[in-house]
């Protein structure tokens, strides 16, 4: 299992960051920035679901045989409070997944979003390498989300 931890800081109060993260228009903007092949975002009460398909161009050959030409990820965030959510990521049709948490910690007009995920791939011999590749992909996705978030909050 590979652990991914990301700390993303925003110059906005926690309630504004939380509202942004539960806004489907924001999530759609993030998908565009990530250059997904296909994607959608929806919010149903306290549940945010993001479906995204990424191209595997540039993925090492050992992993391409595992993931194919595209990798689909379904991210489900279940918000348990205005500042905390459980995160589950599924890779449909593949023996991989990730789960963890998202927390928002405010300090005045600054908020830190902390994402902690355990990435697991159940494939003999190469599972650890694939876990690392998926963790890197997810880390880059959260970096793009942060870029869009900084711009989004500056406009509000």
Per-residue model confidence as pLDDT tens digits over 5-56? 999 999 999 999 999 999 999 999 999 999 899 999 999 999 999 999 988 7
What lies within 8 Å, CB to CB, of 125 at 6+ separation is none
Q: Are 50 and 32 in contact (CB under 8 A)?
A: no
What residue spans define the domains of the chain?
Answer: 2-155
Give the pTM. 0.88
pLDDT tens column, 79-116: 999 999 999 999 888 778 899 999 999 998 999 999 99
2-155 belongs to which CATH class? alpha beta
Contact 47, 35 (CB under 8 A): no
Chain-centre distance for alpha carbon 124:
25
pLDDT (tens digit, 9 = 90+) per residue, 110-139? 999 999 999 988 766 555 667 777 888 889
């Amino acid at each position: 299992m590979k652990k991914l931890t990301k700390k993303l800081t925003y110059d906005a109060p926690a309630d504004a960051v939380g509202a942004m993260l539960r806004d489907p228009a924001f999530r759609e903007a993030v998908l565009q920035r990530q250059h997904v092949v296909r994607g959608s975002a929806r919010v149903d009460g306290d549940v945010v679901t993001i479906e995204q398909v990424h191209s595997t161009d540039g993925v090492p050959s050992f992993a391409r045989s595992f993931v194919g030409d595209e990798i689909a990820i379904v991210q489900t965030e279940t918000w348990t409070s205005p500042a905390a959510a459980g995160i589950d990521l599924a890779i449909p049709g593949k023996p991989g997944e990730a789960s963890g948490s998202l927390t928002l910690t405010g300090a005045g007009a600054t908020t830190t979003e902390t994402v902690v995920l355990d990435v697991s791939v159940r494939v003999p011999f190469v599972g650890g390498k694939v876990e690392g590749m998926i963790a890197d992909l997810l880390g880059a996705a959260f970096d793009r989300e942060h870029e869009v978030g900084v711009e989004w909050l500056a406009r509000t």
